[in-house]
Structure 1
């Protein structure tokens, strides 16, 4: 499978949001890039013989992205809350708007101190200067809610709302028409929702970007952050997935390349992964709404174990 690298454009040109909309909105639809043969398609649930999935989950799926088949599907078209898996679309939208070496100044609203004490943050402070590359790494690896807002403000020409509108338009362009987001980080809002199938469509597009692949496959990332006094501090972020941490075992013959975790009380525990079997065939596996982290990884491992021809 070939993962292509998208050419990035800068965020700092005049009226970036309007320019992006004019150049990109619905281009894939107009150019016919959403033919069914390019995607895994199923309108119904798909069962696997001798495999009983966890019916307590909100949704789950296993998508063979090389053969373009849906190998397992449970409630994949049902409305769900995505929690921090939202951030894959935040990253995708930003990567299509911004260069990785652009410098972002953190606002008061994007500072870690602006978030609830239980929210996952990367520790940004008002006035910090940090590269877009570092923000995206903290967003996808450490799941920083502060990073999400800093990215959205910068790439949205100062408006988080405008950036989220671009996220929604990108989702629609990809065929993810049952998705509506209101934040760039996935903190709960009843009007912030998607489906497991839409998340497959979005993640399937994300992995075509080499920058995205480089981040989700990383073991860690060390960011240089310049404070208001000019002092540079270094912060290292690590993946949140138990597979990356070595806290969950995979079936023999399976490899996780990377992915994104998520959790809120309403969304439950969520996980989207890019997997690979011994032959190099690629799969996207999704579990949304597990009651606990141990159950999330138990269910995900069981689904990955359904990949054919594992040793």
Structure 2
């Protein structure tokens, strides 16, 4: 069984090294300076290695910052994972609310520090009462595996599944949020600060389009993550607190996978994560591949509505094949 690792270096120290602080941030109108962020990634060496931190990452510079009137979302970007190129970037470093895209980091932490076969007993932390919150329907006392919870987290976007994962991995929501921020710092997502594992709104819970690429790119290294996000429907059985079986079917919310929108010709969706709150607007990050098996990550943040979200996503996906 894997050890649960709790990284000791703090978010404040990491963020100080990476040019900007986590503590005390209030506004969401403080984007990174392109030249500073680019210089940071090109010059920061990995510990014990000579190559720059970003030798295998896509780097945004002034030259790759783009304007396109058809992209109406607040932020959007296209990353070519194969050639390590940025094909499009609009406000990539602007701090925005991520809504349920937060769950990509929750899944990453669970896969990195947990075990898929762990039996998780749901606690009271999983009781989410906020109006409109998406749930997979688990209750205190239910027993599920970590693998089942990850499907409940990523397909129906269960905030209750996120809380159950957080409590199992770290002992509580606050402790797990600290792990999320430490992990973000480790992979260079220095414009990110998380306060919960699910993305329910808080003014101090924010990230950037570029940081979400870093998080999603890291999660794609795990085959189980790829399997989960590629699933459109998942049926399972777990036990309630009395030991009785509970049957559940969870469905994904990505319109490209449900058939409500078509991918541009020549592209195939690998999967991704949606997110919606009043403050965050409609959001989506996802992976795709072309006929040559080249892979891409695309992200749209703060589109006005669901239809507008997929209009924006299709517009930036077209930049891959145009």
Q: TM-score, normalised by structure 1?
A: 0.87
Q: Residue 6 of structure 2 is aligned with which of 16, 20, 27? A: 20
Residue matched to 2:59: 41
What whole-Å deviation, never above 9, does each CA across 1:229-267 have from its counterpart, x for those lacking one? 211111011111111110011111111110000011111
Quote how far apart the aligned CAs of 1:97 are: 1.2
**CA 1:22/1:188 → structure 2, altered by over 3 Å: closer, same or farther?**
closer
Structure 2 unaligned residues grouped into runs of 5+: 15-44
Contact 1:57 1:288 in 2 (8 A): yes
Matches within 5 A, 1:29-178: 29-32=46-49, 35-44=53-62, 46=64, 52-54=69-71, 56-111=72-127, 114-156=128-170, 158-178=171-191
How many residue pairs match? The answer is: 288
d(CA) in 2 for partners of 1:222 and 1:116? Answer: 26
Residue matched to 2:22: none
d(CA) in 1 for partners of 2:185 and 2:70? Answer: 30
**CA 1:47/1:193 → structure 2, altered by over 3 Å: closer, same or farther?**
closer
d(CA) in 2 for partners of 1:257 and 1:176? Answer: 23
Quote how far apart the aligned CAs of 1:29 are: 4.2
**CA 1:75/1:193 → structure 2, altered by over 3 Å: closer, same or farther?**
same
d(CA) in 2 for partners of 1:178 and 1:31? Answer: 25
Quote how far apart the aligned CAs of 1:46 are: 2.8
SS of 1:30 mapped into structure 2? coil
Matches within 5 A, 1:160-199: 160-199=173-212
Quote how far apart the aligned CAs of 1:58 are: 1.7
Runs of 4+ in structure 1 off by over 3 angstroms are: 31-34
Q: Please give the root-mean-square deviation of Cα atoms over the aligned residues, in Å.
A: 2.1
Quote how far apart the aligned CAs of 1:122 are: 0.4
SS of 1:164 mapped into structure 2? helix
71-80 or 36-45, larger mean C-alpha shift: 36-45
